Amino acid sequence: MTREDRGRQESWPISALAHELDVSTRTIRYYEELGLILPGRTERGIRFYSRGDRARLRLILRGKRFGFSLDQIREMIELFAEDRTGCMQLMRTIEYGNQKLAEIDEKISELMQLREDILVYKQSFEQKLLEETRRMTDECSSSTSSKWTEISE
Amino acid sequence: MTREDRGRQESWPISALAHELDVSTRTIRYYEELGLILPGRTERGIRFYSRGDRARLRLILRGKRFGFSLDQIREMIELFAEDRTGCMQLMRTIEYGNQKLAEIDEKISELMQLREDILVYKQSFEQKLLEETRRMTDECSSSTSSKWTEISE
DNA sequence: GGCTTAGTTGACGTTAACGTAAACGACAGG
DNA sequence: CCTGTCGTTTACGTTAACGTCAACTAAGCC
């Protein structure tokens, strides 16, 4: 609080951050409303963002790109950002981290499952394409109807 | 359309599906409103869902658990479910599949990045905990303030 | 000084994805 | 016959995550 503008300390206005991370300024202010970021202010009330704030915002956006709601993200950030000194507090925080890691691992495996599903669909179409081209060269039509209903069960 | 209830063909009412997949019946009907599923109907208008419908619904829900909007999911499903016979159509569909696969790969790698971030946070707290316990045994306090702002930059 | 541009707060609008409630029909049990 | 349960449609309510607009201030520029 005593000496917060030393010149060497790099910071950016809201517009720069918005442009860099490709979100609107409104969005950033909204995140502040929810208590997700607390940027610094000049004595005239103008926001400026440290590189820490920037990293934080990036983490928020990354979290958002999956199911995580802003509330869940806030949960994470709060737990990790607070200055927890107590031994029990530390252990609880670490436990929470492990939990989140497990959730993410779950998500990753689910994504890989989704990937597999789509791959199967695609391959069935590649198969179709192969048969199609064969028919065009052979000029002999054999009706093959592979129903999509049997996939991924 | 000619003979759709053969006894051997297994199907479920909406409530069973809702319970199994842990969503409300309203949600399932809403998906139907959007054209994401078209279950069969008895002559009295009661919906019943084939195992294909069930797989489809699972795919929808799985897609939803990440950023995918219902519109995007509809896009996918339509493209894969339609009976595309033309050669060009098949190729376009396959191309679309490749695109989706790439998107998913992107998501996966982003998730792993997020995982890494959280891991780093957690490790910093584990470090803190270690110092804390050391202080408690040593009874000698050395102030170490590791600012969180320097993480993941 | 006047204009433009970038920032602020505050209020209201909007969209997706459902929740909830009303009003109805079919069927089973007592 | 009455009640309850499960299904249907229609319609309106709700919440999160912003968009949009108005009214204002301060800085820079000619």
Give the pLDDT band (50/70/90) at residue A84: low
Tokens of A106: 């779950």
- Counting other chains too, the contacts that B28-35 makes at CB distance below 8 Å and 24 or more residues apart are B28/B57, B31/B57, B31/B60, B31/B70, B34/B70, B34/B74, B35/B74, B35/B78
Q: For residue A64, say whether its CB is under 7 Å from any atom of strand D.
A: yes
Question: Residue B103: what pLDDT?
Answer: 85
Closest chain A residue to the Cα of B112, Cα to Cα: A108
What does each C-alpha distance from B129 to A98, B120, B137, B138 come to in angstroms? 15, 14, 13, 14
Closest chain A residue to the Cα of B120, Cα to Cα: A97
User: DSSP 3-state assignment of B67?
Assistant: coil
Give the pLDDT band (50/70/90) at residue B88: confident
Contact indicator for B32, B39 with CB cutoff of 8 Å: yes
The C-alpha of B120 sits at a distance from chain A's nearest C-alpha, in angstroms, of 10
Q: Please tell me which of the candidates A52, A64, A151 has its beta carbon nearest to residue B55.
A: A151
CB contact under 8 A, B119 and A101: yes
Q: How far apart are CA B107 and CA A62, in angstroms?
A: 10
Question: Residue A36: what pLDDT?
Answer: 92
- Fold classification of B8-65 is Multidrug-efflux Transporter Regulator; Chain: A; Domain 2 (1.10.1660)
- State the DSSP H helix or E strand holding residue A47, giving kind and residue range, or none if neither: strand A47-50
Mean pLDDT of the residues in chain B = 80
CB contact under 8 A, B114 and A101: no
Tokens of B118: 């959280």
Is residue A151 scored above 60 in pLDDT? no
The C-alpha of B29 sits at a distance from chain A's nearest C-alpha, in angstroms, of 20
**Residue bearing the bigger pLDDT, A81 or A134:** A134
Q: Which nucleotide is nearest to B23 (CA to C1')?
A: C18
Percentage, residues of chain B above pLDDT 70? 81
What's the whole-number mean pLDDT along residues B48-57? 92
Partners of B87 on chain A (C-beta within 8 Å) are 129, 132-133, 136
Q: How far apart are CA B120 and CA B112, in angstroms?
A: 12
Q: For strand C, which nucleotides have at least one atom less than 7 Å from a protein CB?
A: 6-9, 16-20, 26-27
Which residues, other chains included, contact B144 with Cβ-Cβ below 8 Å and sequence gap of 6+? B131
Tokens of B113: 């990045």
Question: Residue A128: what pLDDT?
Answer: 87
What's the whole-number mean pLDDT along residues A108-130? 87
Q: For residue B46, say whether its CB is under 7 Å from any atom of strand D.
A: yes
pLDDT (tens digit, 9 = 90+) per residue, B10-44?
A: 899 999 999 999 999 999 999 999 999 999 999 89
Q: What are the structural domain ranges in chain B?
A: 8-65, 83-153
Distance A88 CA to C16 C1' (A): 41
- Counting other chains too, the contacts that B132-135 makes at CB distance below 8 Å and 24 or more residues apart are B132/A85, B132/A87, B132/A90, B133/A87
Q: How far apart are CA A110 and CA B65, in angstroms?
A: 9
Q: For residue A13, say whether its CB is under 7 Å from any atom of strand C.
A: yes
CATH architecture of A1-82: Orthogonal Bundle (1.10)
Tell me how far the alpha carbon of residue A105 is from its chain's centroid.
Answer: 14
Distance B46 CA to D6 C1' (A): 10
Q: For residue B40, say whether its CB is under 7 Å from any atom of strand D.
A: no
Is residue B9 scored above 80 in pLDDT? no
